[in-house]
Amino acid sequence: MRNLLAATMLAAVVSSVASAAAPELTAQERQATHDMFEHVINTPTVIGRHNVPQMAQYVADQFRNAGFPVSDIHVIPYHTGSATTGDDDTAALIVRWRANAPSKRPLLLMGHMDVVEAKREDSSTDPFTMTERDGYYYGRGTIDMKDGITAITQAMINLRKAGFRPKRDIVVLFTGDEETNGIGAKKGATEWLDLLGHPEFGLNADGGGGGYNVDGSPAGFAMQTAEKTFAGYTFTVRNRGGHSSKPRKDNAIYSLAHALDKLEAYRFTPKLNDTTRAYFTAKAKMDKGPLGDAMRHWLANPDDAQAADFIEASESEVGLTRTRCVPTRLFGGHADNALPQLATAMINCRIFPGEDPNAVKAELERLVNDPTVVVTRNDDNVASLASPLRSDVTSAYTHAVETLHPGMPVFPEMSTGASDARPFRVAGIPVYGVNGAWVQVPTDFRAHGKDERIPVQSLYDNVVHWQLMLADLAGK
Amino acid sequence: MRRFVALVLAVCSTSAIAAVDPRTVPTQLPPAWQAKTRELFKQAIEIPSVHNRGEVPRVAHLLADQFRAAGIPDADIHFMPYEALPGDQTMALIVRWRSPHPVKKPMLILGHMDVVEAKRSDWKYDPFVFREEGGYFYGRGTSDMKNGDVATTMAAIKLMSEGFKPDRDIIFFYSGDEETRGVGATLGASKWRNLTDAEFGLNADGACASYDEQFRPLGCGISMAEKTFQTYFLTTHNPGGHSSRPRPDNAIYDLADALEKLRKYRFQPMQNEVTRAYFAERARQEGNSTLGQEIRAWLANPNDGAAADAIEANPLEVGLTRTRCVATMLSGGHADNALPQSATATVNCRIFPGVQPTAVQAELQALVGPNVEVKPDPNYIGVPTPASPLRPDVVKAVTAAIQHFHGPEMHVYPEMSTGASDGSFFRAQGIPVYDVDGSWGISPLDERAHGLDERIPVRAMYDDVHYWEMLMRSLAG
């Protein structure tokens, strides 16, 4: 699941900053990037097709051919599956680039090799044959996120060939089921931690990124530092039912409807954390209207719930001020002429980082306030945590963005979706979504959708972006 | 679709006689016939003849086998396969027991072989495993209405074995989709009329007698009129989207709002001849109780809405004062992490006789507002039916048989059924039908038709065989 960019376009007021010419790839590096990208796009790593191990081996081979020692390259097959996704034989790739005398704990680079399904008949060209057209590379995974896999891999190869020697270990973890069950990330944050050398923090290519508006103005680059916790709940009402010709005063469907009416009216307490505070601060600067006013009021007074409600009600900011829960599915009854014995609603919650899903369950029970409505959890997800805004990461990301895109605003963001970062954040390893790809906003927001694509130059810029990031964070 | 046992409180509150638990009174059915009845009942219950499972023909063959073994020729046993719900291959069974010297037009006995869905996970025990416990037979269909199928079949073969010759043909008509679409009864009253034409019908889908929890007889209502069955779908639509970004409008919330309105809404109270007669009798029985006073007030002034509301709110009288609509099913959404693009509630209405379903649809639409789509179930459009005339021969025979088992305190009255049954299709086509099954139960304990842990007192099952034997002797002898 990729959140390429904050959904709002920042109407950036950019002062044109003069900067040194951005570094560029050599023709040979550019060709190698192209070939690797084409190869991985053409490998359909959709769940159930058992192709991830093959891709992992291919990427491993690129590292090995570039001189990374075989003993530090691990293709780890694992199984993923669930009732709703089906099964797959997948794999993770772990590569460790060792420093001679590391002074700090390793830096983790993250990505995922799997992609969302794409059907030939739903696409203009074969989604698993990379196609270059109109200044774009088309294909499933071009922005989610084989661009990031290619960029990290090629950046490390380029740096190594250029004689770069990291001052701390750089460890790569590419998983094989982020789009479905996230088992690779869970293993990474637990049983593979030794192999990863217990990194100090992670940089995730499946987050961050930025773009330009259709009119060519910069739309900003986002650094993902937090994500809400995904948690499912079920409201269940049971009743003894009976014949529908004799309605009872109590009715499972009416009790459920009443609970849903309460949920509709309910708002969780607004909250701010470092990420959203910085995000809203940046947003407020861009917005001189009522929305900007509400942000300024709320930032000045976090207890100003009215201002927070106003922000939350804005289409561009939905979900960013608090926990949100919404009913997504309904089931009830067993025959049209019988009173319902059972009625259920699926409630999907996106919980503010740091809040315990069990506490949300208790809050749902309190707001429903009806013992006949039983609230249960559908999963055992634990609270996602926000990563602290580290000045070294912020500075490296801002520097890389500024180098390639002078005058581009950069701001942190909290994702309302979930990614591989969550188990690491839960395990105490901060993760930052800091990819360097850029797109045209919103025309190119096609992750999971039809005719996914990336601007040709964006692919190559991303390699440079990662080189700059690594030089900054592992070269000093 | 079976109405509950009649809910007529028949005993004066002053009556101080220590009532006997009717479940403990021995049945008069001979032990050998008890055993045969139990075995046939077991076999019938254990066939899960729920719609779309293709099991109804097995019930038809099971019943037909009994008639054949008792001497009914194959030429008079008709298996009538048909499709009910789309894809539901079901069957009706028509059996004609010919009179050697008929002196009257035939008499029709009606029943249905299908049952309402029952989920194993909802029930304490498997609903399709016949079980006897604590003086009850348990299983889906024990009261709705494999009891009636078994009682009418068993009574006929018992009479045959005793050499009884009817003086009119007795036609047994068992349909296979009463609980869903009623296609069988529709065909039975029209296309198959040459096999079913009769002077009147007795429907075994409707036990009449019952007792309250103090074992006082509550009376026996003969259903002569019925509310019109109509299901509507209330649907909301929305563009949907990703659930991490909830929209202000939501199909599920919109539907929940509509259901809150429906929950609070009450239709206009109404009376007709049958319900006036019914409530007059009820007022007499109730004496000076609060309910009795309310009924008298409403009969004196049919515009006394408060009195009608009070009567309707009484569990004994639910559904008898007006049209009622209730939400029975819900569905909505397509993925746990996507905002719903639509949500639908199934609303089942029982419409007061004479009111057109289109009028109720308009009333529902006005109630929930223009953003909720209200549509009738296209698979079944209800048609209001006329009440059947009160035939003295039927009333006399039913009264005699009922009081044989339950004594003179078990009064017999006309009533309006809140549920539609197969009888409605025959009434609509000019054959009067009376719902007069002879099983009974404790009200409201045993009112479990369509619900959980459906059951029938063991004695009530055996009594029912004997009861139908008496009715056939009386009306065809």
CATH number at residue A74: 3.40.630.10
Same domain as A371, residue A256: yes
- What integer pLDDT is reported at residue B149 of this predicted model? 98
Same domain as A46, residue A162: yes
In a domain, A431, yes or no: yes
Q: What does the block give as tokens for B427?
A: 């009434």
Same domain as A94, residue A176: yes
Q: How many domains does chain A have?
A: 3
Is residue B404 a contact partner of residue B29, using CB atoms and an 8 Å limit? no
CA distance B6 to chain A (A): 12
Is residue A171 a contact partner of residue A109, using CB atoms and an 8 Å limit? yes
B382 Cβ contact list (under 8 Å, min separation 6): B228, B229, B230, B351, B357, B420
**How far apart (Å, rounded) are the C-alpha atoms in residues B267 and B355?**
12
Type of residue numbered B462: Y
- What integer pLDDT is reported at residue B19 of this predicted model? 82
The reply to whether residue B345 touches residue A253, judged by beta carbons under 8 angstroms, is yes
Q: Which domain holds residue A373?
A: 229-268+323-382
Residues of A in contact with B340 (CB under 8 A): 327-330
CA distance A346 to chain B (A): 7
CA distance B232 to chain A (A): 9
Same domain as A147, residue A80: yes
Give me the residue from A247, A260, A416 closest to B326, CB to CB.
A247
Q: What does the block give as tokens for B7?
A: 């809910």
The reply to whether residue A245 touches residue B418, judged by beta carbons under 8 angstroms, is yes
- Cα atoms in the Cβ-side hemisphere of radius 13 Å centred on B222: 26
Give me the residue from A230, A242, A324 closest to B451, CB to CB.
A242
- What integer pLDDT is reported at residue B397 of this predicted model? 96
**How far apart (Å, rounded) are the C-alpha atoms in residues A472 and A394?**
11
- Supply angle C-alpha A417, A419, A424, rounded to 5: 130
Residues of B in contact with A228 (CB under 8 A): 244
**How far apart (Å, rounded) are the C-alpha atoms in residues B208 and B401?**
12
Give me the residue from A232, A243, A313 closest to B449, CB to CB.
A243
In a domain, A19, yes or no: no
Same domain as A404, residue A330: no
Is residue B186 a contact partner of residue B428, using CB atoms and an 8 Å limit? no
- What integer pLDDT is reported at residue A6 of this predicted model? 39
B204 Cβ contact list (under 8 Å, min separation 6): B109, B110, B111, B145, B148, B149, B151, B152, B436, B437, B468
CA distance A285 to chain B (A): 23
Residue of B nearest to A7 (CA): B245
- Any idea where the domains of chain B sit in the sequence? 22-227+387-475, 228-267+323-384, 271-320
Residue of B nearest to A342 (CA): B122
Query: Per the confidence metrics, is the pTM higher than 0.90?
Result: no
**How far apart (Å, rounded) are the C-alpha atoms in residues A63 and B398?**
93
The reply to whether residue A257 touches residue B259, judged by beta carbons under 8 angstroms, is yes
**How far apart (Å, rounded) are the C-alpha atoms in residues A55 and A60?**
8
CA distance B316 to chain A (A): 10
Class at the top of the CATH hierarchy for domain B228-267+323-384: alpha beta
- What integer pLDDT is reported at residue B17 of this predicted model? 53
Same domain as A233, residue A207: no
Same domain as A94, residue A62: yes
How many CB pairs below 8 A link A and B?
192
Residues of A in contact with B348 (CB under 8 A): 244, 336-337
The reply to whether residue B244 touches residue A228, judged by beta carbons under 8 angstroms, is yes
CA distance A105 to chain B (A): 35
- What integer pLDDT is reported at residue A86 of this predicted model? 85
Query: How confident is the model over A162-185, as pLDDT tens digits?
Result: 999 999 999 999 999 998 899 999
The stretches in chain A having pLDDT less than 50 are 1, 3-19
- What integer pLDDT is reported at residue B259 of this predicted model? 98
Is residue A60 a contact partner of residue A95, using CB atoms and an 8 Å limit? yes
Same domain as A357, residue A288: no
Last residue of a domain, one of A339, A358, A382: A382
Protein fold of B22-227+387-475: Aminopeptidase (3.40.630)
The reply to whether residue A254 touches residue B259, judged by beta carbons under 8 angstroms, is yes
- What integer pLDDT is reported at residue B16 of this predicted model? 44
CA distance B340 to chain A (A): 5
CA distance B416 to chain A (A): 12
The reply to whether residue B418 touches residue A246, judged by beta carbons under 8 angstroms, is yes
Same domain as A274, residue A343: no
The reply to whether residue A256 touches residue B330, judged by beta carbons under 8 angstroms, is yes
- What integer pLDDT is reported at residue A21 of this predicted model? 64
Is residue B256 a contact partner of residue A264, using CB atoms and an 8 Å limit? yes
Residue of B nearest to A346 (CA): B336
Beta bridge partners of A175: A112
- The 3-class SS string of B337-354 reads CEECCEEEEEEEEEECCC
A392 Cβ contact list (under 8 Å, min separation 6): A473
Same domain as A179, residue A67: yes
The reply to whether residue B246 touches residue A324, judged by beta carbons under 8 angstroms, is yes
Neighbours of B19 (CB within 10 A): 15
Residue tagged 């019938």 (tokens):
B44
pLDDT 10s per residue in chain B (477 long)? 434 444 443 344 444 455 899 999 999 999 999 999 999 999 999 999 999 999 999 999 999 999 999 999 999 999 999 999 999 999 999 999 999 999 999 999 999 999 999 989 889 999 999 999 999 999 999 999 999 999 999 999 999 999 999 999 999 999 999 999 899 999 999 999 999 999 999 999 978 899 999 999 988 988 888 899 999 999 999 988 878 889 889 999 999 999 999 999 999 999 988 899 899 989 988 999 999 999 999 999 999 999 999 999 998 899 999 999 999 999 998 878 788 989 999 999 999 988 999 999 999 999 999 999 999 999 889 888 877 887 889 989 999 999 999 999 898 888 888 877 788 889 888 899 999 999 999 988 998 888 899 999 999 999 999 999 999 999 999
The reply to whether residue B419 touches residue A245, judged by beta carbons under 8 angstroms, is yes
The reply to whether residue B250 touches residue A326, judged by beta carbons under 8 angstroms, is yes
In a domain, A6, yes or no: no
Same domain as A238, residue A195: no
SS3 content of chain B, % helix, strand, coil (to 5): 35, 25, 45
Strand pairing category for A338-339 and A242-243: antiparallel
Residue of A nearest to B115 (CA): A335
Same domain as A212, residue A105: yes
Residue A318 vs residues A2, A366, A441, B272: alpha-carbon distances, Å: 17, 24, 19, 56
**How far apart (Å, rounded) are the C-alpha atoms in residues B1 and B395?**
23
A3, A8, A234, A246: best to mutate for the B interface, most B CBs within 10 A: A246
Give me the residue from A242, A254, A346 closest to B450, CB to CB.
A242
Residue of A nearest to B227 (CA): A245
Is residue B45 a contact partner of residue B142, using CB atoms and an 8 Å limit? yes
**How far apart (Å, rounded) are the C-alpha atoms in residues A190 and A229?**
19
Residue of B nearest to A227 (CA): B244
Query: How confident is the model over B53-109, as pLDDT tens digits?
Result: 999 999 999 999 999 999 999 999 999 999 999 999 999 999 999 999 999 999 999
Last residue of a domain, one of A382, A401, A416: A382
Type of residue numbered B404: H
